[in-house]
Amino acid sequence: MDSDILVSRTRIATTTQGATGYLTIDLAALGRNYRKLVSMLAPVRAGAVVKADAYGLGADRVGRTLYGEGCRHFFVAQFVEAVRLRPALAHDAQILVLNGLQPGNEIACAEMGIVPVLNSLAQWRQWSAAARILKRCLPAVLQFDTGMSRLGFPREERRELAAALRDGSNVEILFIMSHLASADDMGSEQNGEQFAEMSRIADEFPGFDISFANSGGVFLGDAYHGVLARPGIALYGGAPNAGEKNPMEPVVSLNVAVVQTRTVPAGAKVGYGGAHVTQRETRLATIAAGYADGLPRCLSDRGAVYFKGVRLPIVGRVSMDSTTIDITALPEGALTFGSLVEVLGRHQTLEDIARDAGTISYEILTGLGDRYDRQYR
């Protein structure tokens, strides 16, 4: 038995030491980001959006860290995420499901003490029916569509909902909410339009607390804060507002190992389809990450990685499991088999990669694969 344990531990150590990529998640920086937002919002409370496995970083570890910082409201998108997160958090932590519930999940949701965000009369009726079956009042949040046309009670359902609330209900409304569609653009007219619509809704549904601000909304000013903000990307180090200096600390760094290096002559074809043709003798390195690991294929011939501060452009098409980079700018022999290059870190942010890929930081962060060795600190 002792020998089995030794073998097991050896395998773990070998895998960790010889990983093809190292994704480091700085939980201390996460905590500082939360505290920064709390200080900006006070006396308004700050919840945390931990959907999509806390944007790919591990909802259990992230959730426990934020709970330790005083967070008590955790937002996920789907009921299955709430079920997975519930055991990681103390009983006084409230988990709220932004998409509401699919039919058939109501009783389980109620019994686990999870709170659905109701987005339509259909969801309202299902949750009310569950309350009747259980013979008790059940908590919920009401979400209203204020101009995003995605989730929330549409305008045409508001009158019937208001009547149901006036007539008495077995559903306890904790607060009402909506989602800002353009809060990352502080100059967007849509912010003001949604604020005006949310004000009208507050008049139609008086007496309820309001949750309105997401990450970008925190920086739009006190009027947008309500009583509970719902930051997401800002917690994880992403820029909350486009075109502005990012006030948040980076939480994630990613270093990927070199699999092979080679020197090719002018006219050599690189990668699938021979899409890149070298113009001169070129030194190349193949690194052990591709689009299956979160490096979008649209980084082909556009993105870059770094080694000791030197930018190394991606050449050819990003493959599923590997990416080729031009290392000619480095001294010969500086980068070899097993060397690590920086994909995310001091020299390249989430926003930098997103810009090169023609996407947003959210997609980059949530796409980071599970083949990296994850190191929490």
Of the chain, the end-to-end C-alpha distance in Å amounts to 32
Residue carrying structure tokens 């045409």: 156
Q: Exactly one of 34, 67, 236, 272 is catalytic; name it.
A: 272
**CA gap 265, 250 in Å, rounded:** 39
51 in active site: yes
- For residue 192, CA distances in Å to 118, 183, 228 come to 24, 10, 19
Query: C-alpha 46: how far from its chain's center?
Result: 16
Query: C-alpha 293: how far from its chain's center?
Result: 16
Residue 376 CB partners (closer than 8 Å, separation 6+)? 24, 25, 27, 58, 61
Residue 231 CB partners (closer than 8 Å, separation 6+)? 34, 37, 46, 47, 48, 49, 213, 214, 215, 218, 240
Residue carrying structure tokens 């097991």: 8
Amino acid letter, 235: L
Which residues face 252 on adjacent strands?
Answer: 25
For residues 30 and 66, the answer to whether their CB atoms sit within 8 Å is: yes
Which residues face 376 on adjacent strands?
Answer: 25
Report CA Rg, the chain.
24
**CA gap 248, 234 in Å, rounded:** 6
Bridging pattern class, strands 252-264 and 228-229: unpaired
Residue carrying structure tokens 């709390």: 38
Phi, psi of 4 (to 5 degrees): -65, -40
**CA gap 307, 330 in Å, rounded:** 9
36 in active site: no
Q: Which segments within 27-137 are labelled E, that is strand?
A: 45-46, 48-49, 73-76, 94-97, 115-118
Q: Exactly one of 51, 55, 236, 291 is catalytic; name it.
A: 51
**CA gap 51, 55 in Å, rounded:** 6
Active site residues: 51, 272
